[in-house]
Homo-oligomer: A and B are copies of this chain.
């Protein structure tokens, strides 16, 4: 007797061309048709508003999906981590923005190497900063990287309401712009003004109000910097929740929204802004019932299969008689109870589809995503998509 010798990825590859019903559980499944419609809508939206579109790859972590979006008009990708940037570069993406602070000298040496690699390919690396210390360490890493051919685009991050990274709008940002311009390997490229919390304000009006303050902060800071003769090339930010506001501002030149690609239960719970494209759910966890008891069933997907930081998954209703609500069953289980007017507990072996609460950390739990066409009920497995930057934490 032998253990299986195929890797999980190779096992999934064997599914290509077969029915979605053959996908074993739990599995992360992408509805490729819905995903492509989301891409088309996003590309149209950016074109209509005359803004650049740089979707965040921290969400899907896949070089293949990054390339697909670049082919549709995206200028490149955002990432949060050096290791994510390396994974995207290894997968053929040439324009990468690390929209986050990097401080460790060991990682900054990798950032510098990556800047030179992308420059060699005719691409570009960019990064965010929010401290003099960070700028000096980055500059030192660029100097020590040898060639000094590449110049890194550096964005000053301002805190526009999230209370996380970023200096306050105004003089602090001006001081950092001056500091960046003292270093030959660095180019002051503009401002990052991202308000993460605003993405999840439920009301469309609330989000508009929050982003109007973001825009004020960005304009104020830009004026202060430009008053000293320093051009502010670009203001970048926005997520799927608030993007219509930044796009309409005339101030933001670039949208970082990434979750639109898959949409999750949390974003779908937002009141939709009339100006927002109608994005569809495209990411699902396929699961099956492993235990059926009086009043509840148990499926084989718990929070090792999907992240619950933004709430529990919703169960996709496949028919009216088995409307189900998902309750927390721990790491490996989900507890399902009849919901709405339904009273039926699904039987053992029944396949179900979960819409994750939050797509980013859900994707990060999986090595691959199974891409299907033709729908979840009777579709076909088209390809297996690698999560290249899974666990790329450093």
Contact = CB atoms under 8 A, between A and B. Distances in A.
A296 B335 contact: no
A95 interface: no
Interface centre among A328, A332, A367 (most CB of B within 10 A): A332
A104 B24 CA distance: 8
Given A391-B365, A394-B24, A329 B80 contact: no
Contact of A348 (B83, B134, B168, B333): B134
A164 interface: yes
Contacts of A83: 8
A90 interface: yes
Contacts of A164: 291, 298, 329-330, 333, 335
Contact of A288 (B103, B196, B308, B335): B103
A304 interface: yes
Interface stretch (A29-37, A111-119, A201-209, A244-252): A111-119
A304 B363 CA distance: 10
A346 interface: no
Interface string A88-128: 01100000000011111011001001101100100000000
A131 to B, nearest CB: 6
A292 interface: yes
Given A133-B348, A163-B335, 12 more contacts: A1-B113, A2-B113, A8-B391, A25-B394, A80-B331, A100-B332, A101-B290, A102-B290, A164-B291, A164-B298, A304-B393, A366-B391
24 contacts: A1-B113, A1-B116, A1-B117, A1-B147, A2-B113, A3-B114, A3-B117, A4-B86, A8-B391, A24-B107, A101-B290, A101-B291, A103-B290, A130-B291, A164-B291, A164-B329, A165-B293, A168-B293, A303-B309, A303-B361, A304-B361, A305-B393, A309-B331, A365-B391
